Amino acid sequence: MKVLLLNGSPHPNGCTAAALKEMIRVFEAEGVETELLQVGNRDIRGCIACRSCMKNGKCVFDDLVNEAAPLFEKADGLVIGSPVYYASPNGTILSFMDRLFYSTHFSKHMKVGAAVVSARRGGNTASFDVLNKYFTISGMPVASSTYWNQVHGFTADDVLKDQEGLQTMRNLARNMTFLMKVIADGREKYGLPQMERGAFTSFPDGK
């Protein structure tokens, strides 16, 4: 069982990292393998909608997005961590997520997702909502916790004082582990639910 964690912050040892590390400690105690990718200090450009990924199965920009794709394919769960910038996830993680989800065509169905946000003060739930939408358009169940998945701080030391935030991270990792296990069992016992495809109603004929 494996979880891929993405840190959208430019700070590998900042507030978002402190939250993700709290989760990693629980995953490791539960025997879940983890891989943490540092995304936010990389030069990640946005999607240009060239659709070359439809032919090639990978993004035309050959960077960390294409390196992350096979790790995501193998993972049972994905955690997206982001600092809050002007009440949204930061631009780097949004560019990364748009390109990762759009360019990869393997099934994400029943991989468990969790979004984690870090803010000094505000904009947390709006950012949390944005990140959860990558999961909910992809047939990915969303793990939840005992509060919305957020920590507060301007520095990692602040986050270490946010006892409720850290508790939320630990409970989130436990719930995520449980979901991944029951989904693995359910896949064996019942198979995955059928997913209909094909309807794509953007009304190009204007009717």
Q: How many other β-carbons are positioned within 10 Å of the β-carbon of residue 122?
A: 11
Considering the complex, what minimum distance in angstroms separates the CB of residue 100 from ligand FMN? 19
Considering the complex, what minimum distance in angstroms separates the CB of residue 200 from ligand FMN? 35
Considering the complex, what minimum distance in angstroms separates the CB of residue 51 from ligand FMN? 31
Kindly list the distances between the CA atom of residue 185 and the CA atoms of 101, 106, 114, 132, 182, in Å, as whole numbers in the listed order: 26, 21, 20, 24, 5
Nearer to ligand FMN, 76 or 162 (CB): 162
Q: Residue written as tokens 């990364």?
A: 96
Q: Which residues bind ligand FMN (CB under 6 A)?
A: 9, 11, 14-17, 83-87, 118-123, 153-154
Nearer to ligand FMN, 21 or 108 (CB): 21
Considering the complex, what minimum distance in angstroms separates the CB of residue 88 from ligand FMN? 8
Considering the complex, what minimum distance in angstroms separates the CB of residue 119 from ligand FMN? 3
Nearer to ligand FMN, 20 or 140 (CB): 20
Nearer to ligand FMN, 9 or 149 (CB): 9
Q: Residue written as tokens 């780097």?
A: 92
Q: Which residue is nearest to ligand FMN (CB)?
A: 14
Nearer to ligand FMN, 66 or 92 (CB): 92
Considering the complex, what minimum distance in angstroms separates the CB of residue 143 from ligand FMN? 20
Nearer to ligand FMN, 80 or 84 (CB): 84
Q: What is the DSSP string of the chain?
A: -EEEEEE-SS-TTSHHHHHHHHHHHHHHHTT-EEEEEE-TTS--PPP----HHHHHSS-SS-SHHHHHHHHHHH-SEEEEEEEEETTEE-HHHHHHHHHHHHH--S--TT-EEEEEEEESSS-HHHHHHHHHHHHHTTTPPBP--SS-SEEE-SSHHHHHH-HHHHHHHHHHHHHHHHHHHHHHHHHHHH-PPP---------TT--
